[in-house]
Structure 1
């Protein structure tokens, strides 16, 4: 037996927390066993282990100690490849329209449309029909167990008829082939009225991701309508109805200037007692694509600290919030690496990353009259592995990150399809893993935060 290279030891006042980033196992070590467990895991001297057989089995089960022949990198390669080449999942992100009713200060999509001097387009009927036909063909040939759809834009609710046509078709197809159907829509929430919530539910869409960037003062500064109207109150009114009918995730983009406003937003949502999930993300501004957004950006390390701070706020104000960032294993950081995952643009162009929509240089294919026709750029995505990067190989969170955002590695370095690089590749857990594990353990153990 030997010690896993992916263990984390977190010392508390009178006990020890063990975490393993391959298994996501969390183990609480009682005070009377802390010394023995630390000696084993820090020295690697398993032969002289003084723990009971039952305790040793727990360490084995969590992969804190592993067989001598267990090569963790080989295991991660196998796990990644199983995920990438599996037929179990079929995933589409479908851009329904380039049109948007908002004019957000940091939005690069609308800026690109303006730079290209083009009129925002909507997905055509023939592309909608081809998507449905090719999906049925995939069902017949590959027999997936899950169809996962994300409706995207622009603002996808501006193309509600097309959304309904697609989702009803997917839903009927899934019933016919006994495939689980999962559908969500990424929306600004402004059009998510009672009627539209019900229409979404009636066509199988029961999950929404809505962006709110802080309290009313800050959100209305960042995210106005194109006619310069505030949006916060209307969105909150819509969430009030939606959160009781659907799974609602509040996505919040954060800069150095917005942290206190985000805390105020959390308090507002907590006081309302709404059932929502939270997804905090740093605002990313690429210098070469300046949108005129002047707030100061957070470095990844700074955002990692802020993320912990904000989740502490959530757990304090919403004690029953189901916080657990380690609920499921991440075989790959991004579905873009999977062969059966693609992003479909309004004109039928195929991409692997939704951040690449509209960049024809990185398109990996197109929809024809009958199916998808892929080019050789597709192979550059599918064959990427983080094990090529020495920094990744030396990183303690590799099993959870698996290379992080692969935009720079694939789009910039492999495809030479973008003149700019994203500011971050790694994930916040690189800098806040111990704090996030500790926060979860405190919640589970009832420790006052």
Structure 2
């Protein structure tokens, strides 16, 4: 037997936490077993005779120890490709409209439209019918188990009637072919009133992602209406009305100047007892494009530290908040690398990454009356091999990120579809995974949810 190279050992006083990034298994090691686990990890040698059979079974199950001939990179490659080429999932991101009722200072879509000189448009009936017919064909030929649909924009609720029509057709098809339908909307939330929510629920939509970038002062500075008007109060009003009926995730984009405001927002949300989850992201600004963002973007290392602080802040106010980013294994970091994952633009053109929306250089196919017709640019995504990067293989979080964001590797390097690269390929866990593990372990200890103990 040998030790996994993707183990993380954290010592907390009299106890140890052992974590594996292939399996996401977390083992809480009690004091009586601490020394032999620590000795094993530090010596990088597994002495079977020092452990009871049930202890060996637990360590093997969590991938902490492995058979001598087990190749972890080959295993990750197999797992990744099985997920990538699986017909189990059919995934659409549907750009309903390029129009938006907001004028956000960091919006990259507005930057692209400004450069291209193109007027914003919306999806037409022809593309909608083609997509519904293509979905029916794929249900019959591929027999997927899950249809995952992201309604996207611009602001998708500006095309509410089309959104309702598409979702109802998908819901009907999914029921007929016994496919699980998982739709959600990425929205600025301004039009998400009670009446709209009732319409969405009727067609199977119960999940939304709404962006709020802090309390009123910062949010209304970053995310204004087209006429310059404020938006924060309206969003809070809407969330208060819908949070018991829908799953609401708040996406919070962060700059150096907004950190304290975000902490105040967490307290504010807690005081109002809003049932929401949180997703923190860095504000990334493309300097080559003109923009109105005047604050300071965080570096990845800076964001990694702040991310931990913010989750601790959430748990301080809401100890029952379900925080465990390791709960679900990620076999691929990005669904753009998967066989049956498509971004459908307003004109029926196909992309793989929603960061390509509106980019004519990276079009990977087209919706037609005969279905989705793909070209060689689609292939570039499917032949990208993150596990061939030696630097990535040696990184402790490689099994969790599988090479990180592939925009630079595919869109920039392979497709030559962007004049600029994203500033960071890696994920924040590269720098904060130990801190995140401790936060999760502390919460689970408090809630007494540990099931495995050595």
Report matched runs for 1:40-59 at 5 Å.
40-47=40-47, 49-59=49-59
TM alignment of 1:260-275, pairs within 5 A: 260-275=260-275
SS at match of 2:47: helix
Question: What does residue 429 of structure 2 align with?
Answer: 429
Asked if the contact 2:348/2:366 (under 8 Å) is kept, the reply is yes
Equivalent pair of 2:106/2:291 in contact (CA under 8 Å)? yes
1:365 maps to 365
Query: Which digits, 9 at most, give the CA deviation of each residue in 1:302-321, with x for residues without a partner?
Result: 11101000000001111110
Find the aligned partners of 1:215 and 1:99 in 2 and give their Cα distance: 26
Q: What is the distance in 2 between the residues matched to 1:376 and 1:354?
A: 18
Alignment check: 8 A CA contact 1:366 1:373 kept: yes
Query: Could you tell me whether the CA contact under 8 Å between 1:403 and 1:426 is conserved in 2?
Result: yes
| TM-score for the superposition, normalised by structure 1 | 0.98
The aligned counterpart of 1:12 is: 12
User: What's the CA shift string for 1:58-107, capped at 9, x where partnerless?
Assistant: 11111100111211000000000000000000000000000000000000
For 2:292 and 2:113, locate their aligned partners in 1 and report how far apart those are by CA, in whole Å.
16
Distance 2:78 2:45 in 1: 29
Mapping 1:226-245, distance limit 5 Å: 226-245=226-245
**Partner deviation per Cα, 1:407-443 (whole Å, 9 max, x = no partner):** 0001111111111000110000100001000000000
Structure 1 residue runs of 5 or longer lacking an equivalent are none
How far apart are 1:114 and its partner, in Å?
2.6
Q: Which residue in the other structure is 1:80 paired with?
A: 80
Are the aligned partners of 2:48 and 2:56 in contact in 1 as well (CA < 8 Å)? no
The equivalent residue for 2:390 is: 390
Hey, what's the Cα distance between the residues in 1 that align with 2:351 and 2:290? Answer: 23
Does the residue aligned with 1:252 lie in a helix, a strand or coil?
strand
Aligned runs of 1:290-305 on 2, under 5 Å?
290-305=290-305
> For residues 24-60 of structure 1, what are the alpha-carbon distances to aligned partners after superposition, in whole Å with 9 as ceiling and x for unaligned?
0000000121111111122133236422222221111
Partner of 1:102, secondary structure, is coil
Contact 2:111–2:290 under 8 Å retained in 1: no
Match of 1:168 in 2: 168
Aligned residues: 448
Q: Which region of structure 1 is more displaced relative to structure 2, 64-73 or 111-120?
A: 111-120
Distance, in Å, in 1 between the alignment partners of 2:97 and 2:47 is 63
Which residue of structure 2 lines up, in the alignment, with residue 178 of structure 1? Answer: 178
Which residue in the other structure is 2:93 paired with?
Answer: 93
* Deviation per residue, 1:236-288 (Å, 9 max, x gap): 00001111100000000001110000001101100111110100000011221
Aligned to 2:450: none
Query: Where does structure 2 lack aligned partners over 5 or more consecutive residues?
Result: 448-454
2:449 pairs with 1:440: no
Within 5 Å, give how 1:394-413 maps onto structure 2.
Answer: 394-413=394-413
Pairing of 1:38-437 with structure 2 (within 5 A): 38-47=38-47, 49-437=49-437
Q: SS where residue 395 of structure 2 aligns? A: coil
